[in-house]
Amino acid sequence: MLELKGIEAIIFDLGGVIIDLDFQRSFDQFSTLSGKSPEAIRQGIFESGLLHRYERGLYADAEFLTEIERIFELTCDPSSIEQAFLALLLNIPPARIELIRNLSKKYRLFVLSNTSSIHYKEVNAILKRDTGHAHLEELFERVFLSFELGLLKPHEDIYAAVLEQAQLKAEHTLFLDDNADNLLGAAALGIQTALVSKDQSILNLFNHE
């Protein structure tokens, strides 16, 4: 269980913290569409820098889908490409949302996510399906998204922007992420951090049954 003494605000990552992810689902669907191996797909999207550029807001949605079509020489319609890209998004357990609602009574709550506009729209659709809430903005004071900020975790500048825009003090702020590198970027500015994993979800961290 986390020690929350002195904490006034909690910043949540999105993927792997609030919503469950399975990247292999996207790799497999793109593999089926292209005839290329799932590993080639992973390298082409996730290691080439293409996804990071999109998550920084450097591509419009249609431009990103067109770039994937070009790279993997796809002949399918754009909707099939988009569905393969969305396949990695799974579900949002209602218990996590209940926890967030309870925490909001004591703390200022925020989201900070490396994500794209296509994924974020789908996240809200899944939120509505699984919990009845139409938008994450109903649950958090503010949602900070990389494609809107033009910045990416784990670079320190994105955490500095959140601290400044939300008027937070680093030493009184807790950041939760499933990527240890992202925690290092936040900790460099004095933000307190905690790692989320499949074995240690936010429900475990906050001892919420």
- First-residue to last-residue Cα distance in the chain: 12
Alpha carbon distance 181, 154 (integer Å): 6
Name 129's Cβ contacts closer than 8 Å, sequence gap at least 6. Answer: none
Provide the pLDDT for residue 182.
Answer: 97
Provide the pLDDT for residue 95.
Answer: 96
Phi and psi at residue 57, to the nearest 5°: 85, 20
* Average pLDDT along the chain, 209 residues, taken 10 residues at a time: 88 98 95 92 87 96 93 90 96 96 96 97 98 96 98 97 98 97 96 94 82
Name 194's Cβ contacts closer than 8 Å, sequence gap at least 6. Answer: 2, 174, 175, 176, 183, 205
Q: Where are the alpha helices (DSSP H) in 87-179?
A: 94-103, 117-131, 146-149, 156-166
Contact assessment for residue 134 and residue 35, using Cβ atoms and an 8 Å cutoff? no
Provide the pLDDT for residue 209.
Answer: 40
Provide the pLDDT for residue 208.
Answer: 57
CATH classification (class only), 9-20+92-205: alpha beta
CATH classification (class only), 23-86: mainly alpha
Angle at 154 between CA 149 and CA 159, to 5 degrees: 55
Domain coordinates in residue numbering, the chain: 9-20+92-205, 23-86
